Amino acid sequence: MNLVVDTSVWSLVLRRPQVEEANQFVRTFRATLEKGDGIFLIGSILQELLDGVRSSRDFDRLLKLLEPFPLLDIHRQTHVAAARLRNHCRAKGVHASPIDFLIAATCCENGFPLLTADRDFTHIAKHSDLITLPS
């Protein structure tokens, strides 16, 4: 199964001094890697992960670790779908960042679930075709 891994999970795996292997999100990430399933990035997730890295050595190390994971293409219609989804969700009382809606729309467009620890996506999923993991 192909999936997109959100910043919240990448941070648990790559940016913590010690990885909590018992964490359900870390376990799902590791299981996906071990099965050889496709793990994809979205440009905004890559940027979030690299933002705030203090040293150029750490930046380059993180960039190298993320290199094998392909980026999904985002097109004009993806941005339009993200705006429609955000408007729809706001009307239902669901608020999240424009980037979160772009991530959700990209996952829906490609038919990929999103592995995330961010509860905003759980709320978005209630009003869209977004599938979040672990479920």
Q: Across residues 94-103, what is the average pLDDT?
A: 98
Q: Report the pLDDT value the prediction gives residue 3, as an integer from 0 to 100.
A: 96
Q: Report the pLDDT value the prediction gives residue 18, as an integer from 0 to 100.
A: 86
Q: Report the pLDDT value the prediction gives residue 55, as an integer from 0 to 100.
A: 94
Give CA–CA dist 26/4, Å, rounded.
14
Lookup result for tokens 């709320």:
123
**Residue 22 pLDDT > 90:** yes
Give CA–CA dist 63/35, Å, rounded.
23
**Residue 12 pLDDT > 80:** yes
Q: Across residues 24-53, what is the average pLDDT?
A: 95
Q: Report the pLDDT value the prediction gives residue 15, as an integer from 0 to 100.
A: 78
Check: CB of residue 34 under 8 Å from CB of residue 26: no
Give CA–CA dist 5/133, Å, rounded.
9
- Specify the CATH architecture of the domain 76-133: 3-Layer(aba) Sandwich (3.40)
For the chain, the domains span: 3-66, 76-133
**Residue 80 pLDDT > 80:** yes
Mean pLDDT of the chain: 95
Q: How confident is the model at residue 51 (pLDDT cuts 50, 70, 90)?
A: very high
What letter does residue 18 receive in the DSSP assignment?
Answer: S
**Residue 135 pLDDT > 80:** no
